């Protein structure tokens, strides 16, 4: 009997390749915030719906969007903004939205846990379920960035979630300046990195604009780890409280970078922005394997990174 031969055409092979692709559309959003929590949630929902209407599967909202960036001042009254995860209005609201739209929504919030407080993120999958919590690891302390007044250092470690649209690593704002955090998430299998953010003016350095530096560092995470990176920043002038003279200007500049570290889309200082970009996660995974940056790592030589003074024992 003659050997069987394939009758598949080049076109059928291309169809098979298409079926093996895992395409995902990622969205970053950008908006201003007021002291009206319900209005902030409604604005965020409108952007989420706009992004979903553009085909987005994973949609990122900025850091602590339920209120203005209250860490401008050291005021104990702002602890009243914190909630337990199960009591948080935004998490409950966007769990319903995620299920309705079939999208993944990481939600940044001010978490109260027993006697402790954290700057946290809840990962909501496309079925509306809360997959878990990440607590911000790196807590800044500077004029107008008084986060150590409010937040304990996160105790969750860096988290990666296997969502309906790929394995997502998510960290929060100041975390994004640390390449170690990005590398840890990708080593745990993250196929994309998401960073909700609050970056604005520096009161001690009038006229300073850190957006180019910030974007360059983040694009470095993308290129070094060969994964897309999304950042959603707030925008506009905010005051500590309605009767305060303390104010900051948030610069926007939200963006999406590809796995080579190139910015694909970028916002300026507009209010109410939705950015989207499509990626093939299987194609990116193959590129990661090809480049060999994980194959050729030498963790046996990196001991200095796990110390404070760079001195290995």
Active site residues: 63, 136, 173
279: left (phi over 0), alpha (psi -120 to 50) or beta: beta
Closest CA relative to residue 108, chosen from 178, 48, 36, 197: 197
Measure Cα distances from 39 to 31, 36, 72 in Å: 12, 5, 21
Closest CA relative to residue 194, chosen from 165, 169, 173: 169
Closest CA relative to residue 164, chosen from 274, 19, 29, 56: 56
The residues, any chain, with a CB within 8 Å of residue 55's CB and separated by 6 or more, are 25, 276, 278
Closest CA relative to residue 132, chosen from 93, 106, 151, 99: 106
Question: In terms of residues, how long is the chain?
Answer: 313
Number of H helices, E strands in the chain: 6, 14
The tokens for 133 are 């919590």
């Amino acid at each position: 009997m003659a050997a069987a031969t394939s009758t598949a055409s080049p076109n059928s092979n291309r169809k098979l390749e298409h079926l093996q692709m895992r395409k995902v559309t990622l969205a970053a959003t950008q908006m201003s915030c007021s002291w009206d929590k319900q209005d902030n949630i409604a604005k965020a929902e409108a952007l989420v719906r706009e992004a979903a209407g553009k085909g987005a599967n994973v949609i990122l909202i900025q850091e602590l969007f339920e209120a203005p960036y209250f860490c401008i001042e050291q005021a104990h009254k702002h602890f009243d903004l914190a909630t337990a995860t199960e009591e948080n209005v935004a998490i409950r609201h966007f769990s319903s939205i995620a299920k309705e739209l079939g999208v993944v929504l990481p939600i940044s919030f001010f978490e109260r846990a027993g006697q402790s407080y954290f700057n946290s993120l809840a990962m909501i999958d496309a079925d509306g379920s809360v997959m878990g919590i990440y607590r911000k690891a790196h807590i800044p302390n500077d004029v107008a960035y008084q986060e150590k007044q409010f937040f304990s250092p996160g105790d969750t470690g860096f988290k990666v979630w296997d969502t309906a649209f790929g394995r997502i690593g998510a960290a929060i704002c100041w975390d994004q300046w640390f390449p170690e955090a990005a590398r840890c998430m990708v080593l745990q299998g993250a196929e994309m990195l998401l960073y909700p953010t609050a970056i604005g003016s520096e009161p001690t350095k009038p006229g300073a604009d850190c957006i180019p530096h910030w974007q360059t560092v983040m694009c470095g995470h993308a290129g070094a780890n060969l994964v897309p990176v999304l950042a959603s920043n707030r925008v506009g002038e905010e005051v500590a409280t309605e009767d305060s003279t303390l104010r900051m200007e948030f610069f926007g500049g939200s963006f999406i970078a590809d796995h080579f570290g190139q910015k694909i889309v970028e916002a300026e200082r507009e209010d109410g922005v939705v950015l989207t970009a499509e990626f093939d996660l299987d194609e990116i995974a193959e590129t990661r394997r090809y480049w060999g940056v994980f194959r050729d790592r030498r963790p046996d030589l990196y001991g200095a990174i796990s110390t404070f003074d760079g001195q290995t024992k």
